[in-house]
Each structure stands twice: as C-alpha cells, then as structure tokens.
Chains A and B, each alone.
Chain A
Amino acid sequence: GAVVSQHPSWVICKSGTSVKIECRSLDFQATTMFWYRQFPKQSLMLMATSNEGSKATYEQGVEKDKFLINHASLTLSTLTVTSAHPEDSSFYICSASLGAEGEAFFGQGTRLTVV
C-alpha cells in the first residue's frame, strides 16, 4: 500500500522559533497533500490543501503567514510553523493523494510542543 512518512515524529521548540515538518509520499507521487491539526482529545481539523507547484489553499481561520506550506515536489510537502507559541502545540498530521479522486494516505503525525 501507499506509504506516507512524516518527520519528525515529535519536536520540542522554544517559543519564538520556527519548526519545519516534512511529509513524504514514499512510493507514489502525490499531486495533492493535506495538513491537519489535532488538539488533545479532539478531532482533526483541516488546515490547508497543498498542490504540487502551486500555492497552498488555507482553510478559514488558518494564518497562512504563520503556517507556511511548501509543496515543491510530487513527493514532499513541508509545513513550517513560524514564530511558534505554546498555543501552537498540537498534533499535526499530513495526508497525500494521487489527486482529487484518489483516497488519502496519512502520515504518522508530528507532536509539536512549544515551551
């Protein structure tokens, strides 16, 4: 089956610094990737849709200048949390698909803790 890998699995950073999370499709080319955020004991909320070679589409209420998404190749999308603050601490999960009609495959998630 299709494999999506996220790195790192967990990260602790100081308030005010930036953190980059990678999402890779290991055995297929993903034209579209999605980034979700999950607060403790809550559901997953879509943050943005990332299409290879174009700007990401952010969901309402998501600060695009704070959560920078880059999808420079068909196998890699990155999410950079800029000037992180404790309220950005969360579980971030990416998914990747072959296109709009294809189902999504999820990464294992990244636990971000901002101290």
Chain B
Amino acid sequence: AQSVTQPDIHITVSEGASLELRCNYSYGATPYLFWYVQSPGQGLQLLLKYFSGDTLVQGIKGFEAEFKRSQSSFNLRKPSVHWSDAAEYFCAVGDPGTASKLTFGTGTRLQVTL
C-alpha cells in the first residue's frame, strides 16, 4: 500500500524567511500528489497538485513543489513566508489510478515568528 511520510512534525520560521516542507511517498508508479493546508478547526485547502508533466508545480499563495521521482519526494517550498502561512500542512498521495481517494501524511505544523 502507498504511504506518505512528512518527517517534520513542527517547523518554526521567521517571517520573510524561506520555507521547505518535506514529503516522501512510497508508491509503485507515478503517483498523484497533493499539498493541502489546514487552519485550526477548518477544512482543507488545496495548495497544489502534481499529476504529470513539468515536475515543478506552482500553486496558490506563492507555494511551489517539486516532484523528484529518484528521491520519491514532493517537497513544498515558499521563498518568503508570511505570518498568515502559519497552519498545518498535509502532503497526500492518491490511491493507484485515482486522484480522489487519498492517503495523507501526518502533517507538519508551521509556526511563523515575527
């Protein structure tokens, strides 16, 4: 079965600093990959997704992610973090052949200091 690992449970960065959140997946073929953000008590907002093609994916709110097949990674990046980016971030992979049935990582909580 596929799995998703987010090694960092909690990350703190200063406002204006760059950010990289790590995500590794275990999957036999090219997966459908997603990054979601969740504010406290809220649902999920899709930041970006990778289905195929260009391995560097641009998302909303200035986020991007790069799919690296050789490393089984799909790390999320942002060049300059804003205080409003503080939230929980989830990486997810679609079940084989589907983009809708998702397996989520354990999440990374981002704290932004001013």
Contact = CB atoms under 8 A, between A and B. Distances in A.
A binds B: yes
Interface of A: 6, 32, 34, 41-46, 49, 91, 93, 95, 97, 99-104, 106-109, 111
Interface of B: 32, 34, 36, 41-44, 46, 49, 90, 97-107, 109
A43 B105 contact: yes
A34 B90 contact: no
B103 A104 contact: no
A49 B103 CA distance: 13
Contact of B104 (A32, A41, A43, A103): A43
Dominant SS among interface residues on chain B: loop
Contact of B100 (A34, A41, A108, A111): A34
Contact of A93 (B44, B97, B99, B103): B44
B43 A100 contact: no
A101 B43 contact: no
A83 to B, nearest CB: 26
Contacts of A102: 99-100
Contacts of A42: 106-107
A22 to B, nearest CB: 14
B107 A43 contact: yes
Nearest to A105: B46
A104 B102 contact: yes
Given A34-B100, A101-B99, A104-B100, A93 B105 contact: no
Contacts of A106: 36, 43-44, 46
Given A93-B43, A108-B43, A111-B41, A101 B98 contact: yes
Contacts of B34: 103
B78 to A, nearest CB: 21
9 contacts: A44-B44, A93-B43, A99-B100, A100-B97, A100-B98, A103-B99, A104-B100, A106-B46, A108-B43
